[in-house]
Amino acid sequence: MLDLKGKIAFVAGAGSVGPGWGNGKATAVLLARQGAQVFATDLKEAAANETRALIEKEGGVCAVQQCNMTDAGEVRAAVDACVKRFGRIDILVNNCGGSAAGDPVSMSEEVWDAQLDLNLKTAFMGCKFVLPVMEKQGRGAIVNVSSIASIRTPKGVSYIAYNASKGAVNALTRQLAIELAPHGFTTAAIAPGLVETPLTDFGLKS
């Protein structure tokens, strides 16, 4: 366990789309268990409030704000609210994401655009508005949630937009790491494998 006492963590996509544990909910709760105070955003405020309830039940501190992380105005407002409440942001977790099946022929242009917005633009927006806060502090840590699908594709399954967008998240992370490391920042991408969450259907449902 890390010692994150006194640290403020901004977790984007901190709710879960259904009962159980999603990656964002688990990340927010774990950060709180390690001592961080959490600012949780989600497209659905009720989902973020479920995460807050878990954190507060264990004695942690969590604030919540509804936020569409593809919308610049909403992201700016959420970051401002976090700074107003806690005074700083030490950790940014860009967790928003989801997958839609399809290949270049079958997938509509609208789905392609939506996938890039959800999986890539959200990470860009988080960095865009949190980095100026961290730069004033002189340090910070950014964690972008990628996927094993960014580097390896299962046979017989086509998630062309998801795979491409998560590959772009890796490239975004590398570029940020190179640019920010000399200034005291840590930037990393994590690439989970197949995880059973409320967002995942393993074909087991009737």
Euclidean distance between CA atoms 76 and 71, whole angstroms: 9
Note the Cα 136 to chain centre separation in Å: 22
Which strand ranges, in their side-by-side order, compose the sheet holding 62-66? Answer: 62-66, 37-42, 8-12, 91-94, 140-145, 185-190
| Residue tagged active-site, from 162, 166, 173, 189 | 162
Q: Is 12 exposed, middle or buried (0-12, 13-18, 19+ CB in 10 A)?
A: buried
Q: Kindly state the DSSP code that residue 15 receives in the 8-state scheme.
A: S
Euclidean distance between CA atoms 193 and 195, whole angstroms: 6
| 196 SS3 class | coil
Is 159 an active-site residue? no
| 200 SS3 class | coil
Catalogue the active-site residues.
Answer: 162
